Structure 1
């Protein structure tokens, strides 16, 4: 197998008329340079150079070979440049799964801007609050709350310090008040999010450094996070949502953060891929985009609180 480095050395030697000068220019030792020329001559069965004690010049065979070698190296260089350009220009497709509420109302505008910057990339979005089986479904990356239970998956942090917050509309608070204690929370209409068909019977909070469970009940439950938020905006009860989902509504005053002194359960956001090989340039670029957009929504640096038995 002919080495490209050997060809480069040969051409540099022909240009400089000196094997020693060529070796010096390419940071080779004289012995390694001499061995490379001998290796090529042995492979081709011709003497490329005519050597004397004082000079070195191309042989007749070398003169005929030289233009072809230059053309070959130029073609290889152009091919390498094209590959590098393709790597910098994202092409192909990227299928991304994400939660319904966060996807529609937070991530979707960012994804549209991302695709405008990469017009040759086909982005396919799958919205669902069920965790897609990445080993079976045709999904390249999933945006998920919580650390995956499957250790074979690769989870890359997007918003590792995100947590849940207790929210309600101003109209609801005006009509029913805000809970002052966990016992009072039990008396309010809880707007509950179902995961895997299960309706939560309690919400957990960190109060004065200790985790407590508060039983909750209500007539409203849904397996779609956006539906739960819409109910809260409509004043139908109190919701316990990731702050990322309701950041815009809290900033605008459409929702109120109840009991900010109660620390919410962690809800870290990750980009999850089936394995390191699936972390393609497109997936990496998307993650960098999301990290930049999510950074302003992150809470101020505080000691992280972990719920018992939760990640």
Structure 2
């Protein structure tokens, strides 16, 4: 029978780089940690770790098994947390990851208001557009555009109907003209976002006829960034055309700093979600945060 503490030692050994480090975390002897891995390997009938005196690496079987071990431990912890949900008040530490542009210019102000309403909550905020490993970096929830690539994560909708908007500064359009069709973008300087070594240079539009046909155009430009806020700043400064989430540029559009283009085309879907590792990990604090953000986003979109 597989023991819970053996799974814990496996995960800690991988996360900390060695069995000795895992033993120190658990305050046990290194020999006990080594015995736990041997016991687990014997139970499964495969070798999980290729280890020497100085290094430790997962075997192919170990790679496959690790995700199941993590999920099993998370489910057990979630079960303990679920039993206590009814007794919990809104409060405690929350680690939150938010995207660069929306995070700095919209969400941080709302989070200030959330903390004013709930002074027993303490927030640790990570800002950036690169996806975080919510298991390794111990992030409770993340605000992200699109569906999570990891199917084991849970995505709760915050703005399910949000879409991308093609936009640039009025001065840019005055110099270079307004595109009439998506294909016209090939003649424009497009401001690009690059994440995880992938440059998002294929922009998708849908015709206003509602026939569901997608029109994809590959664009180019002389400015590429891994930070969404920088892309928006370039657009406001008149350096080119950006294809941004409407939530990111709504204030600029309303103030006239940016002007929307191709408004008779529907932009690419960019739903905003609150992402967590498991539905049972949603404490009353996280549920209140989800409701709070939903209310603020709805009001933000509805403001004249």
TM-score with structure 2 setting the length: 0.68
Give, in whole Å, the separation in 1 of the partners of 2:247 and 2:200: 20
Q: CA deviation at 1:152?
A: 1.4
Q: Return the index of the structure with the highest Cα Rg.
A: 1
Give the structure 2 partner of residue 245 of structure 1. 248
Give the structure 1 partner of residue 117 of structure 2. 117
Deviations 1:227-277 (A, max 9, x none): 000000000000000000001111111100111111111000000011123
Deviations 1:6-28 (A, max 9, x none): xxxxxxxxxxxxxxxxxxxxxxx
Is 265-274 or 195-204 further displaced after alignment? 195-204
Give the structure 1 partner of residue 206 of structure 2. 206
Give the structure 2 partner of residue 156 of structure 1. 156
Deviations 1:146-170 (A, max 9, x none): 1112221111000000010100001
Query: Structure 2 vs 1, CA of residues 134 and 84 (structure 1 numbering), >3 Å: closer, same or farther?
Result: closer
Q: Verify the 8 A CA contact 1:233 1:254 in the aligned structure 2.
A: yes
Give the structure 2 partner of residue 289 of structure 1. 292
Give the structure 1 partner of residue 270 of structure 2. 267
Deviations 1:265-292 (A, max 9, x none): 1000000011123211111111111000
Give, in whole Å, the separation in 2 of the partners of 1:238 and 1:141: 32
Q: Secondary structure at the match of 1:194?
A: strand
Give, in whole Å, the separation in 1 of the partners of 2:183 and 2:271: 27
Q: Secondary structure at the match of 2:221?
A: strand
Give, in whole Å, the separation in 2 of the partners of 1:249 and 1:126: 24
From 225, 228, 240, the counterpart of 1:225: 228
TM-score with structure 1 setting the length: 0.67
Give, in whole Å, the separation in 1 of the partners of 2:219 and 2:300: 28
Q: Verify the 8 A CA contact 2:85 2:284 in the aligned structure 1.
A: no
Q: Verify the 8 A CA contact 1:190 1:239 in the aligned structure 2.
A: yes
Q: CA deviation at 1:120?
A: 1.6
Give the structure 1 partner of residue 130 of structure 2. 130
Query: Structure 2 vs 1, CA of residues 231 and 85 (structure 1 numbering), >3 Å: closer, same or farther?
Result: same
Number of aligned residues: 216
1:157-172 matches, cutoff 5 A: 157-172=157-172
Deviations 1:193-231 (A, max 9, x none): 112121123211001332111121011010000000000
Give the structure 2 partner of residue 19 of structure 1. none
Deviations 1:14-49 (A, max 9, x none): xxxxxxxxxxxxxxxxxxxxxxxxxxxxxxxxxxxx
Q: Secondary structure at the match of 1:218?
A: coil
Q: Secondary structure at the match of 1:186?
A: helix
Q: Secondary structure at the match of 2:142?
A: strand
Q: Give 5+ residue unaligned stretches, structure 1.
A: 1-82, 300-311
1:34-183 matches, cutoff 5 A: 87-88=88-89, 90-183=90-183
Q: Verify the 8 A CA contact 1:96 1:141 in the aligned structure 2.
A: yes
Give the structure 2 partner of residue 256 of structure 1. 259
Q: Give 5+ residue unaligned stretches, structure 2.
A: 1-83
Give the structure 2 partner of residue 276 of structure 1. 279
Q: CA deviation at 1:175?
A: 1.1
Give, in whole Å, the separation in 1 of the partners of 2:123 and 2:87: 17
